[in-house]
């Protein structure tokens, strides 16, 4: 247990904030991000993994954060259809666009996206993964990811301006842009 525990301590100390940032970008909520990181660490280290380096662990934890986020979004989506039957909800009603304005930033822009779109956008444009890599991470077909990215790209470009270069899947959406 000592090895795994040491790996956990090292990972928490050296990469805790980066993991939080990753979860924060996906979730758009600090408390949910904390929960995602903690749950992902538990999921990862609940399996005994001798010889597990912090780098190995971080890759697993990041995957666990993503899958937990997507899984939670899926469950919340289905639950949302009937949650009014159980009375009031503790979640405050949030206007996703309310954070976009003078304080415009990336997180506010990402908050306007649906969870799957947001995950695809973070993986594609923040982590700089290719579409097939995003599809593999999300367990989706390439075409599905392209559809998410196309929708997300439109929304993000409207708020943040033209997307980073190399985003061919949404390049047609960006008009008036020329490359040297």
Partner 1 sequence: MNPFPDEPRHPLTDALDAAARTPEAEAYEVPVELVRRRVGRRRAGRALGVSAVAVLVVVGTASALPRVLPRAVEEVAADAPPECRLTLEDLASDDGAPDGWTAALTAQVAGTVARGDWPLSTSFVLESPPTVSLVSPPLGWTYGTSAVVLRDGDVVAVLDMFGAPTREEASRIAVDAEPLPFPLVTEGPAATVDCATGEPVTLPAGDYEVVATQTVGWTFEKVGGTFVARATSDPTRVTVGPDADVTSAGCGTTEELVSLTDPRANPAPFAIEIDPPAPTAGGEFLALDARVVSIATAPVSSGFTGYGRVAVAQDGVIVGGESAMPEPYVSVDLDPGESFPVIAGAPLVACGTDDTPLPPGDYEVWVMAEFDSGGGNFDWRAAGGPVPLEITE
Within 55-74, the residues that bind partner 1 by CB under 8 A are 56, 63-64, 67-68, 70-72, 74
CB of 30 to partner 1, least distance (A): 4
> Which of 94, 97, 105, 130 contacts partner 1 by CB under 8 A?
105
Q: Stretches 94-102, 140-148, 168-176: which one binds partner 1 (CB under 8 A)? A: 140-148
Residue 94 interacting with partner 1 (CB under 8 A): no
By CB under 8 A, the count of residues binding partner 1 is: 80
Name 88's Cβ contacts closer than 8 Å, sequence gap at least 6: none
CB of 121 to partner 1, least distance (A): 8
CA atoms within 13 A on the CB side of 153: 23
Name 97's Cβ contacts closer than 8 Å, sequence gap at least 6: 112
What is the C-alpha separation between 67 and 138, in angstroms, rounded?
A: 7
What is the C-alpha separation between 95 and 112, in angstroms, rounded?
A: 9
Residue 170 interacting with partner 1 (CB under 8 A): no
């Amino acid at each position: 247990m000592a090895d795994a525990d040491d790996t956990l301590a090292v990972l928490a100390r050296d990469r805790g904030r980066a993991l939080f940032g990753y979860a924060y970008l996906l979730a758009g909520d600090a408390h949910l991000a904390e929960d995602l990181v903690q749950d992902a660490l538990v999921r990862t280290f609940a399996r005994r993994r001798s010889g597990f380096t912090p780098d190995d662990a971080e890759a697993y934890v990041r995957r666990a954060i993503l899958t937990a986020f997507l899984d939670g979004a899926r469950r919340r989506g289905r639950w949302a259809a009937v949650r009014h039957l159980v009375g009031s909800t503790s979640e405050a009603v949030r206007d996703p666009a309310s954070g976009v304005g003078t304080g415009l930033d990336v997180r506010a822009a990402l908050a306007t996206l649906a969870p799957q779109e947001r995950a695809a956008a973070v993986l594609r444009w923040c982590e700089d993964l290719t579409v097939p890599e995003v599809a593999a991470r999300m367990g989706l077909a390439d075409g599905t990811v392209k559809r998410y990215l196309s929708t997300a790209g439109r929304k993000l470009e409207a708020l943040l301006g033209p997307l980073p270069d190399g985003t061919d899947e949404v390049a047609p959406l960006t008009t008036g842009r020329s490359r040297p």
